[in-house]
Every structure is written in C-alpha cells, then in structure tokens.
C-alpha cells in the first residue's frame, strides 16, 4: 500500500471532488502553506499516486439504461480456440460505442458494462449483438438501476 | 442527445485524456484560436456537458483483485419488507471501503463492484459479508480480470 499521510489523503479527496481547484484554493481549505500543497501534489504526481486528470460528462451524454453483462463461452475441445474466441468477442465488443467497458472474467468469461437510451433498446442490443454469438454457454444480464455509490461511473466511462 | 459539433467533441476527447491541459495547449492541438476554445469550454461547462473535473488514482492505490457481485433477495410475503431489506444491504455495502460501487438491480437485486488485495481476500470478503446475509436467493460473483476497455475504472472508483 502507498505511504500516504493524512495531508496527502486530504489533498487527493479534494482533487477527486474538483480537480480544477488551484493550489491556493486547496491550501486555504486545508489551512496549509501553498508551498506545502504544491510540493505534495508534485510528489503525488511523480509517484503516480495521481495517474491522470480527467472530466466526467454530464447526464445529457450518458446512456439512460445501463446493464452489466456476463458472457461465458462453451469450452471447446481445442483450448487454443477458446483463447482466440474470447479475444475476438472482447475486441468486437470494445469497438461498439454503447459498450462502456469490457474485461476478461476467468478462463472462459467476459464481463461488459453496456448502455443505451432505453431498457428496450438495451435488451435488443444484447439479443442482437451478444446472444446471437455462436457457442456461448451462458449470458447473464443485470440491469444497473440506481447507484448509491460510484454514481459518476457512467459519466466517466461514456465516450464522445 | 446533446447538440455537439465536431469541435466540441474534439475538446471533450482531449480533456478526457488530460484535463490539466491549458486553453492555449488545446487551441494549439486543434489549430483554433484560444478565444474559441475558451468560449466552447465555458459553454460545455454551463450546459453541464462537462459535469466535473476529477483525478484517476494510480495502481499503487488500486485493489489488485476486482469482482462484480450480483445479489438477489428472497421475495418475501410482505413487499414493503423487500424494499427496506434491499435498501439496508445497499447502505451497509456502500459504507465498506472495498465496495467501489453499489447499485440497485431490478426489484429484488443489487449489483456491486468489489475490490481487494488478492483473489483469496476478495472471496473471503464475499463469503463473510455477502453470502452470510440472511434470506438471499442468489449470489453471483464474476471476477474482473483484464480490461480491454474502461481500464481506468478502478483508479476512478477507488477511495482514499
């Protein structure tokens, strides 16, 4: 685990909330000299504790319906085929704009976060694009309705 | 859908990659006057197309093992009980630091993104904290191994 003290953590929490704040605004909030805050942020960046600065897009650009999909491939006799097949599905999915995230899940599985304008369109997308894939053993779709933690996830993941 | 032109989208894509770039750096990249970029970003913020500026935390602070968990509650005879029970579990989970995100999933379900240092610790957490909850009908755990899209998700969600 990273060696961070209370001041480092306080700075990180503030930047998570609003990364546009100036050094002097952060210094004022934390009642510390600007030079200290400047030095700490510089160190946090150098150590890659802060990896990136980014934006979260507003509701207007976010899909209204969200789901997590788990896909499990049939285990074939030739192992190498499974590997290539999983890679191929992952790559195909990752190119689609309403697929917000794709990850491998174990040896024979994929998890994806999918968004669309309405639950109906989302279901149609899953039926047309995922359930129609050959040699799948299992497809599970879990709608994601209302976040109580991590709610900015959608605005973070959505592309433009 | 938001009315965005190519320039708006180009600006948003650049800010997603690095929100610390100055107006003049963005102007140079896009070969447009600074005043145009300044005006566009101002508008994008006012319209809440850009909702927030934030940071992504580096690997050092990220959990090494990640999983998506789906929890389905037993449907009780008294409906009001289900509602209160689901809310209670969601609130409890959201307070735990290794629960990165929690959302409602349909009438009787919850999805959560969970992280821990090792797969063993993650499994223990799921066994101790989730599978031990009373009156659950179904618990599904999908490990999230390697992202090919949305890889910054973990660094975005992790707390400090």
B1 in any annotated domain: no
What backbone phi and psi angles, to 5 degrees, belong to A62? -85, 140
In a domain, A73, yes or no: yes
pLDDT digits (tens, 9 = 90+) for A2-56: 589 999 999 999 999 999 999 999 999 999 999 999 999 999 999 999 999 999 9
Residues B103 and B127 in one domain: yes
Question: Within an 8 Å CB–CB cutoff, is residue B100 touching chain A?
Answer: yes
Is A91 among the domain residues?
Answer: yes
Domain membership flag for residue A93: yes
Q: Are A84 and A120 in contact (CB under 8 A)?
A: no
Among partner residues B16, B113, B142, which is closest to A105 by beta-carbon distance? B142
- Determine contact: A104 vs chain B, CB below 8 A: yes
For residue A121, being part of any structural domain is answered with yes
pLDDT, position A80: 85
Looking up residue B150, the CATH number of its domain turns out to be 3.30.70.920
Quick one: A76 and A124 in the same domain?
A: yes
Residues B145 and B123 in one domain: yes
Residue A78 at interface with chain B, using a CB cutoff of 8 Å: no
Q: Do B41 and B63 sit in the same domain of this protein?
A: no
Nearest CA among B18, B62, B71 for reference residue B157: B62
Secondary structure class of A7 (helix, strand, coil): helix
Q: How far is CA B51 from CA A19, A45, A59, A105, B26, in A?
A: 12, 23, 8, 31, 19
Q: Is the pLDDT of residue A74 over 60?
A: yes
* CB nearest B58 (choices: A50, A109, A157): A50
When divided into structural domains, chain B yields a total of 2
Residue A145 lies in a domain: yes
pLDDT at residue B1 tops 60: no
Burial (CB count <10 Å: 0-12, 13-18, 19+), residue B13: exposed
In tens, the pLDDT along B69-125 reads: 999 999 887 878 899 999 999 999 999 999 999 999 999 999 999 999 999 999 999
The tens digit of pLDDT for each residue in B126-160 reads 999 999 998 899 999 999 999 999 999 999 999 99
Query: What region does A31 belong to: left with phi over 0, alpha with psi -120 to 50, or beta?
Result: left
Does one domain contain both A86 and A12?
Answer: no
Kindly state whether residue B26 falls inside one of the protein's structural domains.
yes
Domain co-membership, B76 together with B140: yes
pLDDT attached to residue B116? 96
pLDDT of residue A2: 58
User: Per-residue pLDDT tens for A83-112?
Assistant: 999 999 999 999 999 999 999 999 999 999
Same domain, residue pair A137 and A68: yes
Q: Note the pLDDT tens digit of each residue in B23-79.
A: 999 999 999 999 999 999 999 999 999 999 999 999 999 999 999 999 999 988 787
Q: CA geometry: angle at A45 spanning A7 and A104, to 5°? A: 110
Give the DSSP H/E element, type plus range, for residue B76: none
Indicate whether B29 and B87 sit together in one domain. Answer: no
Residues A35 and A64 grouped into a single domain? no
Q: What residue of B is the nearest CA neighbor of A90?
A: B148
- Of residues A1 and A11, more confidently modeled: A11
B84 shares its domain with B118: yes
**Residue B51 domain-assigned?**
no
Q: Is the domain of B134 the same as that of B80?
A: yes
Instruction: List chain B residues with CB under 8 Å of A59.
Output: 48, 51
Q: Which of A54, A91, A160 sits opposite B9 (nearest CB)?
A: A160
Q: A125-139 pLDDT, tens per residue?
A: 999 999 998 889 999
Query: Residue A11's domain is classified under what CATH number?
Result: 1.10.10.10
Note the pLDDT of residue A128. 94
The reply to whether residue B153 touches residue A101, judged by beta carbons under 8 angstroms, is: yes
- Locate the chain B residue with the closest alpha carbon to A13: B160
User: What is the domain extent for residue B148?
Assistant: 59-157
Query: Does B134 contact A at CB distance below 8 Å?
Result: no
Is there a single domain that holds both residue A146 and residue A80?
yes
Residues A125 and A116: their CA atoms lie apart, in Å, by 8
Give me the residues paired with residue A52 across strands. B56
Asked if pLDDT for residue A1 goes beyond 60, the answer is: no
The pLDDT score that the predictor gives to residue B2 is 58
Look up the ipTM and state it: 0.93
Q: Distances from the Cα of B146 to the Cαs of A135, B94, B128, B143, in angstroms? A: 22, 24, 25, 9
């Amino acid at each position: 685990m990273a060696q961070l003290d209370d001041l480092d953590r306080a700075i990180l929490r503030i930047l998570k909330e609003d990364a546009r704040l100036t050094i002097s605004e952060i210094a004022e909030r934390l009642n510390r000299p600007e030079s200290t805050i400047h030095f700490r942020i510089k160190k946090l960046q150098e150590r890659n504790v802060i990896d990136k600065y980014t934006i979260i897009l507003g509701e207007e650009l976010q899909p209204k319906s969200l789901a997590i999909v788990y896909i499990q491939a049939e285990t074939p006799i030739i192992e190498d085929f499974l590997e290539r097949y999983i890679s191929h599905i992952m790559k195909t999915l990752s190119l689609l704009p309403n697929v917000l995230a794709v990850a491998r899940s174990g040896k024979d599985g994929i998890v994806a976060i999918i968004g669309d304008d309405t639950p109906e369109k989302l279901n149609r997308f899953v039926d047309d694009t995922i359930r129609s894939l050959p040699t799948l053993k299992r497809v599970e779709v879990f709608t994601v309705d209302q976040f109580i933690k991590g709610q900015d996830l959608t605005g973070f993941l959505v592309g433009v």
